[in-house]
């Protein structure tokens, strides 16, 4: 990987790069898709790939074309590098799904705005679901939320990578405002107590879920 996400991610051939424009919660528009298609044709980009984080990667870009591709796309970077919020993924929620019990897209947008403005200790991934089926994969994200008829459940410390971990339930049956306030309070606790670059799947078991709840007055 290069020093910045905007500079692209070096590929296997050591010659071409991938870039990942931001797609908030995986929501697409005709204009977005038309812009991607037009740019891919113009620069002969061979691979357009949907990622596991509900983003779209443009793969196989020549180094000298990267800045021009960004200019033509006129989009934000969707692959942040380093210690920050990397993404918030979400299921369709009550906007479309007949099984949804809460509005996951609205919650995901608010979490993106909340956590995107915080100086987090390590990369942080968030998953939001409108029902307990957890299509937004919150149990294996640093922070997860899912909806029930009785309110939101907040999960912390999950991970889907090499060190897989199912997250711990922090609180249940919360209103939207209560859930957002709790995530903010927990994130502040994480910032104040984490080691350098310590992901939440390591932080939560190190501190202990019981101690975290005590510190947050839960």
H or E segment and range at residue 168:
strand 168-174
Residue 25: the pLDDT is 87
Within 10 angstroms of residue 174's Cβ, the number of other Cβ atoms is 21
Identify the domain containing residue 47 by its residue range: 5-73
Residue 78: the pLDDT is 83
User: Is 78 a domain residue?
Assistant: no
**Predicted confidence (pLDDT) at residue 8 exceeds the cutoff of 80:** yes
User: Is 61 a domain residue?
Assistant: yes
Residues 6+ away with beta carbon under 8 Å from 12: none
Q: Do 100 and 154 have their domain in common?
A: yes
Residue 7: the pLDDT is 79
**Predicted confidence (pLDDT) at residue 1 exceeds the cutoff of 50:** no
Give the total number of structural domains in the chain.
Answer: 2
Q: Do 49 and 91 have their domain in common?
A: no
Tell me the CATH number at 178: 3.30.413.10
User: Is 210 a domain residue?
Assistant: yes
| Percent of residues, the chain, with pLDDT higher than 70 | 98
Tell me the CATH number at 65: 3.30.70
Closest CA to 78 of 26, 134, 140: 26
DSSP per residue over 61-96, as a string?
EEGGGHHHHHHHHT--BSS--SSSEEEEEE--GGGT
pLDDT by residue (tens digit) across 29-85? 999 999 999 999 999 999 999 988 888 999 999 999 999 999 999 998 887 778 999
């Amino acid at each position: 990987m290069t020093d910045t996400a905007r500079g692209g991610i070096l590929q296997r051939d050591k010659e071409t790069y991938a870039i990942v424009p931001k797609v908030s919660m995986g929501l697409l528009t005709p204009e977005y898709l038309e812009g991607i298609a037009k740019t891919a044709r113009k620069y002969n980009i061979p691979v357009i790939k949907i990622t596991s984080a509900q983003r779209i990667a443009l793969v196989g870009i020549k180094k000298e074309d990267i800045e021009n591709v960004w200019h033509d796309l006129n989009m934000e970077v969707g692959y942040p590098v380093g210690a920050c919020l990397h993404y918030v993924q979400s299921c369709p929620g009550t906007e479309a799904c007949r099984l949804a019990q809460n509005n996951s897209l609205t919650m995901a947008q608010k979490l993106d705005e909340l956590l995107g403005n915080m100086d987090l200790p390590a990369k942080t991934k968030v998953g939001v679901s409108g029902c307990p089926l957890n299509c937004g994969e919150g149990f294996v994200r640093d922070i997860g939320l899912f909806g029930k008829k009785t309110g939101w459940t907040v999960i912390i410390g999950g991970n889907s990578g090499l060190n897989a971990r199912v997250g711990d339930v922090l609180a249940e049956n919360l209103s939207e405002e209560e859930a957002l306030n709790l995530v903010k309070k927990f994130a502040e606790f994480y910032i104040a107590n984490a080691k350098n670059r310590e992901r939440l799947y390591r932080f939560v078991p190190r501190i202990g879920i019981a101690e975290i709840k005590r510190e947050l007055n839960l």
